[in-house]
């Protein structure tokens, strides 16, 4: 090695910056041949980068949610003096966030909405399959607001209401806890409501076979019966290929059943093709039971999955579908 009193620019040719940095680190740490360790570290970084990336990309959705929250606070401060002159104080904010999320869906997933004509003019209950994240439902709500000027409420799990900073976002968008009485009253007032009966359990523990996990849940069906509204099935193609979970690990399933918190790791954020399909409405029938309507709705949703999703789901195929006009029957 060069002596401590020698310049690292000595000799006929000056050292490169990397060699100079290596020399300084070696002198500072006292480690000989530190360049070998650095080369190994760079190699490990190169090898592990794809693995790290798939766990970090879902964080983009979290960033978008908190960006939405920040924009709402800015909007509130800017417009609170005009509240008395506006019919709906938050209408502009909803349009702004719809544009933000629809732009993300278009750019990152080439998002498409099919069958919007099946959504009735009046109230209705949209029942959808829950992917690892609710991003597809947010894209649907944004596109519906932009194209049809139709606002859709959504029923969320209780843990969402405990997320720090989310209160203003949930209040502005009328996100509901899900008590039957609240949903029935909203529907009777003419609202459109979206709900995933599988909830967090389906989000975390379904798989590339797109298994519907509803258990014995039939409360949504009773809500539709009590409110005398149709049920509209909805499914988003490739929703589990964009973000996947490690829900196949049994200990994580057991832990969830004990504490009921979504601590299962997710990975992905892949720019796969997403298409949301709205099925034909299941009309209100006065003599149908909640059990019968649940079975009917599940069959309709399963039919959408079988019609529009190639099983088992495949990430590479879903990526390639970004370059195709059609895949499975549209």
Q: What is the pLDDT of residues 188-234, one digit of tens each?
A: 999 999 999 999 999 999 999 999 999 999 999 999 999 999 999 99
**In sequence order, which residues have a C-beta less than 8 Å from that of residue 313 and are 6 or more positions away?**
208, 209, 210, 238, 240, 241
- Would you say residue 1 has pLDDT above 80? no
Residue in 171, 135, 129 with CA at minimum distance from that of residue 58: 135
| 278 contacts 136 by C-beta, under 8 angstroms | no
Distances (CA, A) of 203 to 113, 129, 167, 168, 244: 21, 8, 22, 24, 9
Name the token pair of 277: 């399909």
**In sequence order, which residues have a C-beta less than 8 Å from that of residue 148 and are 6 or more positions away?**
116, 119
Give phi and psi for 213, each to the nearest 5. -120, 90
- Round the average pLDDT of the chain to a whole number and report it: 85
Per-domain residue ranges for the chain? 49-77+89-321
Better-scored residue on pLDDT, 43 or 296: 296
- pLDDT band at 270; cut points 50, 70, 90: very high
Name the token pair of 311: 């099983």
| 58 contacts 133 by C-beta, under 8 angstroms | yes
Q: How far is Cα 122 from Cα 43, in angstroms, rounded to an integer?
A: 59
Question: Structure pTM?
Answer: 0.78
**In sequence order, which residues have a C-beta less than 8 Å from that of residue 204 and are 6 or more positions away?**
132, 245, 247, 252, 256, 262, 264
- Would you say residue 321 has pLDDT above 90? yes
Residues with a catalytic annotation lie at: 130
- Would you say residue 8 has pLDDT above 50? no
Cα 88 from chain centroid (whole Å): 28
Phi-psi region of 149 (alpha: psi -120 to 50; beta: other; left: phi over 0): left
Name the token pair of 256: 């969830």
- Would you say residue 287 has pLDDT above 90? yes
| 187 contacts 193 by C-beta, under 8 angstroms | yes
Domain 49-77+89-321 has CATH 2.30.130: no
- Would you say residue 138 has pLDDT above 50? yes
pLDDT at 327: 47
């Amino acid at each position: 090695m060069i002596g401590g009193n020698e310049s690292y620019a000595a000799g006929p040719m000056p050292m490169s910056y990397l060699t100079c940095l290596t020399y300084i680190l070696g002198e500072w740490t006292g480690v000989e041949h530190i360049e070998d360790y650095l080369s190994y570290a760079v190699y490990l970084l190169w090898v592990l980068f794809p693995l790290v990336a798939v766990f970090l990309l879902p964080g983009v959705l979290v960033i978008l949610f908190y960006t939405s929250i920040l924009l709402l606070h800015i909007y509130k401060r800017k417009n609170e003096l005009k509240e008395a002159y506006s019919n709906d104080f938050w209408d502009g904010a909803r349009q702004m966030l719809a544009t933000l999320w629809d732009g993300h869906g278009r750019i990152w997933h080439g998002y498409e909405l099919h069958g919007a004509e099946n959504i009735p003019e009046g109230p209705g209950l949209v029942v959808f399959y829950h992917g690892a994240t609710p991003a597809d439902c947010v894209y649907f709500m944004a596109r519906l607001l932009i194209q049809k000027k139709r606002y859709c409420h959504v029923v969320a799990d209780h843990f969402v209401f405990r997320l720090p900073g989310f209160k203003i976002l949930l209040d502005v968008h009328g996100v509901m806890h899900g008590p039957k009485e609240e949903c029935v009253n909203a529907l009777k007032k003419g609202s459109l409501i979206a709900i995933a009966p599988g909830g967090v359990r389906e989000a975390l523990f379904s798989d590339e076979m797109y298994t519907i996990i509803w258990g014995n849940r039939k409360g949504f069906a009773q809500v539709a019966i009590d409110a005398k509204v149709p049920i509209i099935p909805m499914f988003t193609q490739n929703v589990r290929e964009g973000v996947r979970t490690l829900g196949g690990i049994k200990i994580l399933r057991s832990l969830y059943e004990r504490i009921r918190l979504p601590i299962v790791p997710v990975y992905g954020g892949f720019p796969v093709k997403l298409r949301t399909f709205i099925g034909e409405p299941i009309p209100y029938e006065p003599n149908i039971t909640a059990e019968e309507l649940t079975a009917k709705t599940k069959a309709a949703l399963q039919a959408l999955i079988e019609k529009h999703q190639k099983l088992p789901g495949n990430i590479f195929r879903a990526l390639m579908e970004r370059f195709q006009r059609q895949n499975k029957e549209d």
